[in-house]
A and B are shown apart, each in its own frame.
Chain A
Amino acid sequence: MKKILVPIKMVLDANVRPRVKADGSGVDLSGMKLSINPFCEIAIEEAVRLKEKGLAEEVVAISIGPAKAQDILRQAMAMGADRARLIETDRPIEPLTAAKLIRIVVEEENPDLVILGKQAVDDDCNQTGQMLAALLDWPQATFASAVAVDAGTLHVTREVDGGHQTLALPLPAVVTTDLRLNEPRHCSLPNIMKARKKVLDITPVANCGLDMAARLNVLGVKPPEPRKAGRRVANVSELVRDLRAAGVI
């Protein structure tokens, strides 16, 4: 395969506890640590491994987001992506719009494979990859836990509710990653230095000529109902007594 395209998203770091803004307009991201979405990091790792095995020639990372998303693109290049593209926008992007923007890039770049995260840990939509596959009329394999390439055919094992399922897909195709696909590498200092010299191309979203209007109105964001405080029980017999009193056993 000649080229793999990997769309990656910048999100609130998975280790930071999200806090809802007092005015109910969203989650407070100001001053918070933003990182590459963990599923996207797995997508980059998988693409780089395919390249290292000689199964792909080039890995291109792309992100749609603010100027700061250059940081995660540099990280992707430090992990081994060859070059990167940022479609710059400060506005929130819905998955349908993200998929349409990625399609534009696919039409320019002609990759054989697009690997995305199965979901972004902020909005938890789990949509973009499937939407992109539909727009391109490409086959898809979502929630991948193993990917193999054999004579131009992709074999993907998927994590499904009952266990695992394996599909065979002709290229070009879309794959979305699950957690157990691989463990992403740490970037070494020399690779971080090298990544600084790699090409990062920035396009303002306006140049894409796409209708960006949101289809969903977010009417409000609130914290979840708090659970009422529980208590410690001293021993097993107290626990059994309390569970019986609560009527659950």
Chain B
Amino acid sequence: MTILLLADHDGHTLGDATARAVSAARDMGGAIHVLVAGENVGPIAQVAANVSGVDKVLVADDPALAHLLAEPVADLLVGLSADYVAVIAPATSIGKDILPRVAARRDVMQVSDITRVIAADTFERPVYAGNAIETVQSTDVLKVVTIRSSAFDAAPQGSVAAPVESVSLPARAWKARFVSEELTKSERPELTSAQIVVSGGRGLGSAQAFQTVLAPLAECWHAAIGASRAAVDASYAPNDLQVGQTGKIVAPELYVAIGISGAIQHLAGMKDSKVIVAINKDPDAPIFQVADFGLVGDLFTLVPELVRALG
């Protein structure tokens, strides 16, 4: 009864999503092995070994795994899966890309984006952009599951490190080739793990307003910045900041929606936040229906005023 968890990392640091997935694995029950795949990922494996609840860490260090492309990582997971009752991963862009490939190869149905574990084979997952919650039971011998990070707390650091073991990737000619990547650099906390998220929508009106109006507020709180799809489409903010059904799902202590109307696809990404604040000039904007505190008025006066009040 052991679960294999694919760790999420960017080549340097272990994503907080991994420790959250460990909590979900613990709810499923059984021993937990974490697979850290990549190139020169020894240090990341050490960090994973220190997450409380992890029984063993498997490291697959291979240049072919450098960018965690779907074909080699799926091969690796399929090879290892025979020894496990479940293969799970955080529902990040890496987990979402790779796990269905593993499921199909093992001829099992994946359960995507679970928000709660009811039993080792039964889970809750949101459908229809979170407008319905489905309870599903998997009848397959192997469970393949992706975990919605925002629904689980991160497992803490443990006191003893789990053993680390190497595994090798059988060589094969994989077809897709990595060409390049362009990662957004930011000093701010990561969107999906921040305590406070300050998000801007089309109401901001420009990329400049994200810098001059939103950023000072985010700085006051050491908050992450988020955006609606409309703001991303208009190039006010980069794509990796999009919150919503098709962007990132966040559930911080405090979510501040500024100049965002509150379309269901946006709400899908933030409505489980502990406290929601909306600042919008339209008193009938749907965002006010989910906001704990609503402030009606012009964001260009209210947000600077808020920054001064916090000052």
Enumerate chain A interface residues (CB-CB to B < 8 A): 12, 14, 17-20, 26-27, 94-96, 99, 118-119, 121-135, 138-143, 145, 155, 158-170, 173, 178-180, 214-224, 227, 230-233, 235-237, 239-240, 242-243, 246, 248-249
User: Complex Cα distance A223/B290, Å?
Assistant: 15
Contact B293 A145 (CB under 8 A): no
Contact digits for B100-143, partner A, Cβ 8 Å, 1 yes 0 no: 11111101111111000000001000111111111111111000
From the candidates B240, B292, B310, name the one contacting A162 in the complex (CB within 8 A). Answer: B240
Contact B97 A142 (CB under 8 A): yes
Q: Which of B204-247 contact A (CB under 8 A)?
A: 221, 229, 232-233, 238-240, 245-246
Contact B137 A217 (CB under 8 A): yes
User: Complex Cα distance A214/B108, Å?
Assistant: 10
The 6 closest A-B pairs by CB, nearest first: A130-B100, A131-B104, A139-B175, A215-B109, A139-B176, A134-B104
Question: Does B271 sit within 8 A of A, measured CB to CB?
Answer: yes
Q: How large is the interface on B (under 10, 10 to 19, 20 to 34, 35 or more residues)?
A: 35 or more
Given known contacts A243-B254, A248-B254, is B128 in contact with A168 (CB within 8 Å)?
Answer: no
Contact A231 B293 (CB under 8 A): yes
Question: A119 contacts which chain B residues (CB < 8 A)?
Answer: 246
Q: Which partner residue on chain B sits nearest A169 by CB separation?
A: B176
User: Complex Cα distance A168/B177, Å?
Assistant: 5
Contact B135 A219 (CB under 8 A): yes
List 8 A-B pairs, Cβ < 8 Å: A18-B129, A126-B100, A126-B113, A218-B136, A224-B126, A224-B132, A233-B295, A243-B277
Question: B103 contacts which chain A residues (CB < 8 A)?
Answer: 96, 127, 131
A-B contact count (CB 8 A): 247
Contact B183 A163 (CB under 8 A): yes
User: Shortest CB–CB separation between residue A62 and chain B, in angstroms?
Assistant: 18
Question: B113 contacts which chain A residues (CB < 8 A)?
Answer: 124, 126
Q: Which partner residue on chain A sits nearest B92 by CB separation?
A: A161
Contact B306 A239 (CB under 8 A): yes
Q: Which partner residue on chain B sits nearest A215 by CB separation?
A: B109
User: Complex Cα distance A237/B295, Å?
Assistant: 11
4 extra A-B contacts, CB within 8 A, seeds A20-B131, A124-B245, A230-B276: A124-B127, A124-B129, A159-B239, A232-B293
From the candidates A180, A223, A243, name the one contacting B293 in the complex (CB within 8 A). Answer: A243
Q: Is the interface of B mostly helix, strand, loop or mixed?
A: mixed
Given known contacts A141-B176, A142-B97, A223-B131, is B265 in contact with A135 (CB within 8 Å)?
Answer: no
Contact B254 A236 (CB under 8 A): no
Question: A217 contacts which chain B residues (CB < 8 A)?
Answer: 136-137, 139
User: Shortest CB–CB separation between residue B187 and chain A, in angstroms?
Assistant: 14
Contact B137 A219 (CB under 8 A): yes
Question: Does B291 sit within 8 A of A, measured CB to CB?
Answer: yes
User: Complex Cα distance A140/B137, Å?
Assistant: 28
Question: B98 contacts which chain A residues (CB < 8 A)?
Answer: 130
Stretch at the interface among B47-55, B63-71, B156-164: B63-71
Question: B107 contacts which chain A residues (CB < 8 A)?
Answer: 96
From the candidates A121, A216, A239, A240, name the one contacting B245 in the complex (CB within 8 A). Answer: A121
User: Complex Cα distance A130/B144, Å?
Assistant: 14
User: Shortest CB–CB separation between residue A226 and chain B, in angstroms?
Assistant: 9
User: Shortest CB–CB separation between residue A96 and chain B, in angstroms?
Assistant: 5
Given known contacts A140-B101, A219-B136, A220-B135, is B240 in contact with A161 (CB within 8 Å)?
Answer: yes
Contact B132 A179 (CB under 8 A): no
